[in-house]
Amino acid sequence: MTLFATSSLTADFKTLRKHAEAGDANAQFNIGSMYENGSGVKQDYAEAARWYRKAAERGDARAQYNLGIFHQNGWGVPQNPTEAVKWYRKAATQGAASAQYNLGFMYLNGQGVPQNYAEAAKWYRKAAEQGDVDATRILGLAYYLGKWVPKDLVQSYFWFSLAASRATGDEYQQASEAKDRVAKELTPEKLKEARRMVTEWEKSHPRKRGRS
């Protein structure tokens, strides 16, 4: 649940604030990030939340996502999972993978919304389809265990394979080992089907691999 960070913290604060007060959502987000990180100003989560809200209300998905985290954790605002879900959803519907992942987490655990496994799977899948490694690993494990989605080893192999192709370091090792473990439980026909799914996915979703 990592926060989005600004890439322009070196901007002159007075100029930035002038733009923010004039309604520039990007400037509002940047000021929120400065207050959140204590970069150039005294760290102040309440001020960060205030500026994130201004940007979020103007449709900035990064600010919506960060505001969701603030409400989930009670940073500068009262802890409120329902409000967190509201902002995660706004960012998620704009295509923010991190927000989609967090929204899936909230549905899976019944935080701020009634527990709903179908919705959890839906949002994890959306994040995974954008290459979110954690989401792909969670789906791989979910289909392997059959806890909150139907048990499906072909789907498990598929998602663990995508996770391995995107991950690096320990994450790569874990996903690769999980993929190999699932492969041993598949019949030759099912393994062939699963590998075909992976190949077709990779062809239709070109991207940079985290590790080959």
Q: What's residue 209's pLDDT?
A: 44
Would you call 184 helix, strand, or coil by DSSP? helix
Where in the chain are the domains?
A: 132-212
What's the pTM?
0.88
**Long-range own/partner contacts, residues 103-112 (CB < 8 A, 24 or more apart):** 104/135, 104/138, 105/1, 106/81, 108/148, 111/72, 111/81, 111/84, 111/85, 112/72, 112/80, 112/81, 112/82, 112/83, 112/84, 112/85
160-207 per-position pLDDT tens digit: 999 999 999 999 999 999 999 999 999 999 999 999 999 999 998 876
Nearest to 166 by CA among 133, 206, 138, 194: 133
pLDDT of residue 18 exceeding 70, the answer is yes
Q: What's residue 211's pLDDT?
A: 34
Which residues, 6 or more positions from 79, have their beta carbon under 8 angstroms from its beta carbon? 71, 72, 73
Q: What's residue 2's pLDDT?
A: 57
Q: What's residue 212's pLDDT?
A: 31
Q: Nearest 5°: CA angle at 60, between 42 and 206? A: 115
Nearest to 161 by CA among 189, 187, 188, 193: 193
In angstroms, the CA 212 to CA 200 distance is: 17
Cβ of 172: how many Cβ atoms within 10 Å? Answer: 18
In angstroms, the CA 201 to CA 86 distance is: 31
